Chain A
Amino acid sequence: MSESDTSPKIQTTIETGDEESKRDPLNVRDTIIEALDLDVYYGDEQALDGVSMEILEHEVTALIGPSGCGKSTFLRCINRMNDMIDVCRIEGGVEFAGKNVYADEVDPVALRRKIGIVFQKPNPFPKSIRENVAYGLKIQGYDGDIDARVEESLKRAALWDEVKDQLDSSGLDLSGGQQQRLCIARAIAPDPEIILMDEPTSALDPVAASKIEDLIDELVEDYTVIIVTHNMQQAARISDKTAVFLTGGELVEYDDTNKIFENPDDDRVEDYITGKFG
């Protein structure tokens, strides 16, 4: 993947990002997301405990760890999906292109237009395939050629050939794997900068899952992908960097994927990866 990273298609960042993105020599990537001592509480329960990490653009970053370790919580903090949960309380910060997303002047709606998300269970809207993909364009008031963008997004999501003759049939008529690719097409249609994926293949069969994995490989040329997964082989296959969370919401180790899987510093990480715990 290292040859294909230098020119992201769209260079829109929130306010200050432009200066930095111009100095972009080969193979030196910028930090796009930075968590700063992030604590998250659901009521009295602490879900994330002092997480600090930098995520580089145009890389696949995998978040792994046992159930309830806070990796999904972390993912949802990045585009403020946790705002919708009344009891959720956040301390510390998450910076996106140098700006704290929890700052007062950041509108979560605007933020989510830059940071798309794909969920564990495919959730296409009960609308036609075309309307599904065009949804983000419509709500953002896009006034270009919507059909062209729909086609382009479906092609990028490797779904175009399968659905090009039935764009007006319901998105719910597709198979599970197709639905998930439709959700990915929907997420990339408004051209965000980051795509968050919350266990995108865990509800799919292995063939459909491997299609999504191939897709992620291609998407990272244009986007930054942050993926939560329970499947360690998947993390090893597709990610550049891996973050291991363990119970209690603690980020135990974060490094190049090869390093994590071959020679982790922390014994608990080794135990988890080799299946002795978790």
Chain B
Amino acid sequence: MAAEESTSDQLGRSTALRIQHLKGRLFEVALVAATLVGIVSLLALFAQISSDAFQPGSASATWFLVYLGTLVAPTAAFTLYARRRPAVRETNALAFAAVFGGLLFSFVIYAVVDALSPYDVFTYVFFASLPPALVVAYDRMTDDRTYTGPAIPASMIVGISVAALLYDLIRGPIGIAAEWIMYFGLVTVPAALLIGALTASRRGRRSGVIAGGVVVIGGLAVAVASIVTGTNASFLVVFFSAFVVPTGYVLWRSVRTDPEGRTGVAGPFILLGGALLGAVIVGRFGIQNPDTFLTPTLLLDSWDGLTASEAGVYPQIVGSIVIVGFMAVLAFPVGIGAAIYLEEYAPDTGLRGRLATLLEVNISNLAGVPSVVYGLLGLALFRRTLGFGTGIVFSAAGTLGLLILPIVIVSTQEALRSVPDSLRQGSYGMGASRWQTLREVVLPEAIPGTLTGTILALARAIGETAPLVIIAVATTKYSPPSGLFSSATALPLQIFAASANAKPEFRHGVVPAAAVVLLILMLLMNATAIVIRNKYGREN
């Protein structure tokens, strides 16, 4: 009895077990080290770039104290306050998204439409939206919804084609109207319709019409006021309709419906107000600002290759946005369509099944092809074969579109694959057709994954330089692109070109500052992806 180990003795730590535990610990330490190496080196890189761009060393100590008092301290206090209140935190996140999203949205809309000519954009948007609107109206009137669905995209294409054919005829009469009326039609009318529809779904038709009317009248009032005072009516109309109205609506809704978290609405205003107050105090008392390169000049002026303080990248920013936006229009329908076919329609067996498998294997490989090679493809396709001009928006967008196409296809396929088969079975079992199953069950489930994948593809595209160099996109341009067939430049290209500038203040100031702008653009896109994913994730 005494010689034998009892069960309770066996519960202790043997040498073998100790070695096992040690191995586990060592592995864990190695993993932590790997994580830290990655994060720390990235942080060091960002710190270096933003320090070069911002030049914090040149500011006086008072400057830091002022902003510490007006910006950092109140924001920190508010964060602490919100930390223990989930409702406040949630409203705060929403308010941040609404305020900064709205600001960004209105600036981007104005910059892009202004570059492409508001009259042209209005003409095309009007002709693209009128036919589908008529189709929908017809649909409502007849109660027969069987055949109108496919007519909506078809009528949109017809409308755009008509606008392109009759361009010379239409453009003249439209050109008589004041510029702000174009923006009114482009932004205020949709905003009014949106607010009207949202209100109508909650409070009935009458309130919806009133809410929409208020937005329209507000837009007109803003336009009249700015004409009287002699300010830029176009910009103020956009600012009102794309920022004040939607952001105000979101904030007002959360104050009204969420008494527990309503203080969270203050978050973005504490930040904005703090920055503004800081700037006023600094200006008033003549405190030494840092010699930053991240100035309004950089964001709003055009390029100057001689004086660093005069160099701006506005045409480059707008060019990047226009190229990437048009690329999305080209690549997303094709990519998502291909993914849906391969995942939902293509059979597993037979000739078509083998063809689909072959395609899928090739698409996965294409996702890894170096971007320079896509540049060569773009050059051959758009310049040589189609004979387009050198370095125009269309070629750049098309080339980048080909580049991200495999990424879009693969990520959409992943999203579709993650929809459980039991849902498809359930839908078919109810007597739904394949199209109904796809539209009602599969696609709504796959939207968050698809959107995340595609927006990440956008973020990849906005930073691409090599393919643009190959298709001979200009590195420096002094005005934003004026149309889809006008030449354009992109922000990463300008950074690439300026990094070879002989003057050190370009290489060590303007380049990092422009890089920060590019990073912010990219981060904003990723943030949008996350917001969309979370929104849909919560609804399900």
Interface, chain A (partner B; CB < 8 A) = 79, 81, 84, 86-87, 109-114, 116-117, 119, 121, 123-126, 135-136, 138-141, 170, 172, 183, 186-187, 190
Q: Is the CB of B425 within 8 A of A136?
A: no
Q: Is the CB of A190 within 8 A of B429?
A: no
B420-445, CB < 8 A from A: 420, 422-423, 425-433, 436, 440-441, 444-445
Q: Which residue of chain A has its CB nearest to the CB of B445?
A: A126
Give A169 Cβ to nearest chain B Cβ, in Å.
Answer: 11
Asked if B540 is at the interface (CB within 8 A of a chain A CB), the reply is yes
Q: Once the chains are docked, how many angstroms separate the CA of A188 from the CA of B440?
A: 19
For the complex of A and B, list the 7 residue pairs with the smallest distance between their C-beta atoms, beginning with the closest. A113-B431, A112-B431, A117-B429, A123-B422, A123-B426, A136-B430, A126-B540
Q: Is the CB of A125 within 8 A of B423?
A: yes
Give B477 Cβ to nearest chain A Cβ, in Å.
Answer: 48
Of B350, B431, B445, which contacts A109 at CB under 8 A? B431
Q: Once the chains are docked, how many angstroms separate the CA of A191 from the CA of B130?
A: 41
Q: Is the CB of A119 within 8 A of B425?
A: yes
Of A110, A116, A123, A190, which contacts B423 at CB under 8 A? A123
Interface size on B, residues (CB 8 A): 24
Asked if B347 is at the interface (CB within 8 A of a chain A CB), the reply is yes
A residues in contact with B427, CB < 8 Å: 125, 135
Q: Is the CB of B348 within 8 A of A110?
A: no
A residues in contact with B420, CB < 8 Å: 123
B residues in contact with A111, CB < 8 Å: 431
Known: A86-B347, A190-B430, A190-B431. A139 touches B425 (CB 8 A): no
20 new A-B pairs (CB below 8 Å) besides A110-B431, A139-B440?
A81-B425, A81-B428, A81-B429, A84-B425, A86-B350, A86-B353, A109-B431, A109-B432, A111-B431, A112-B428, A112-B431, A114-B431, A116-B429, A126-B444, A126-B445, A135-B432, A135-B440, A139-B432, A141-B145, A170-B540
A residues in contact with B440, CB < 8 Å: 125, 135, 138-139
Give A79 Cβ to nearest chain B Cβ, in Å.
Answer: 7
Main secondary structure, interface of B, reads helix
Asked if B257 is at the interface (CB within 8 A of a chain A CB), the reply is no
Known: A126-B445, A139-B440. A186 touches B422 (CB 8 A): no
Q: Once the chains are docked, how many angstroms separate the CA of A196 from the CA of B304?
A: 75
Q: Once the chains are docked, how many angstroms separate the CA of A114 from the CA of B426?
A: 15
B436-471, CB < 8 A from A: 436, 440-441, 444-445
Q: Once the chains are docked, how many angstroms separate the CA of A132 from the CA of B106?
A: 39
A residues in contact with B430, CB < 8 Å: 112-113, 116, 135-136, 139, 186-187, 190
Asked if B307 is at the interface (CB within 8 A of a chain A CB), the reply is no
Asked if B349 is at the interface (CB within 8 A of a chain A CB), the reply is yes
B residues in contact with A186, CB < 8 Å: 426, 430
A residues in contact with B431, CB < 8 Å: 109-114, 136, 139-140, 190
Provide a sorted-by-A list of 9 A–B residue pairs whose CB atoms are within 8 angstroms.
Answer: A84-B425, A109-B431, A113-B431, A116-B429, A119-B422, A124-B426, A139-B433, A139-B436, A170-B540
Q: Once the chains are docked, how many angstroms separate the CA of A89 from the CA of B87?
A: 57
Of B350, B426, B436, which contacts A125 at CB under 8 A? B426
Give A29 Cβ to nearest chain B Cβ, in Å.
Answer: 25
A residues in contact with B445, CB < 8 Å: 126
Known: A136-B431, A139-B432. A86 touches B422 (CB 8 A): no
Q: Which residue of chain B has its CB nearest to the CB of A85?
A: B348
Known: A123-B422, A123-B423, A126-B445. A86 touches B428 (CB 8 A): no
B residues in contact with A123, CB < 8 Å: 420, 422-423, 425-426
B residues in contact with A79, CB < 8 Å: 429
Give A173 Cβ to nearest chain B Cβ, in Å.
Answer: 11
Q: Once the chains are docked, how many angstroms separate the CA of A138 from the CA of B353?
A: 32
A residues in contact with B433, CB < 8 Å: 109, 139
B residues in contact with A121, CB < 8 Å: 422
A87, A110, A117 — most chain B CB neighbours (10 Å): A117
Q: Which residue of chain B has its CB nearest to the CB of A126?
A: B540
A residues in contact with B444, CB < 8 Å: 126
B422, B423, B431 — most chain A CB neighbours (10 Å): B431
Q: Once the chains are docked, how many angstroms separate the CA of A81 from the CA of B422?
A: 12
Q: Which residue of chain B has its CB nearest to the CB of A143?
A: B143
Q: Once the chains are docked, how many angstroms separate the CA of A181 from the CA of B427?
A: 16
B131-153, CB < 8 A from A: 145
B residues in contact with A135, CB < 8 Å: 427, 430, 432, 440
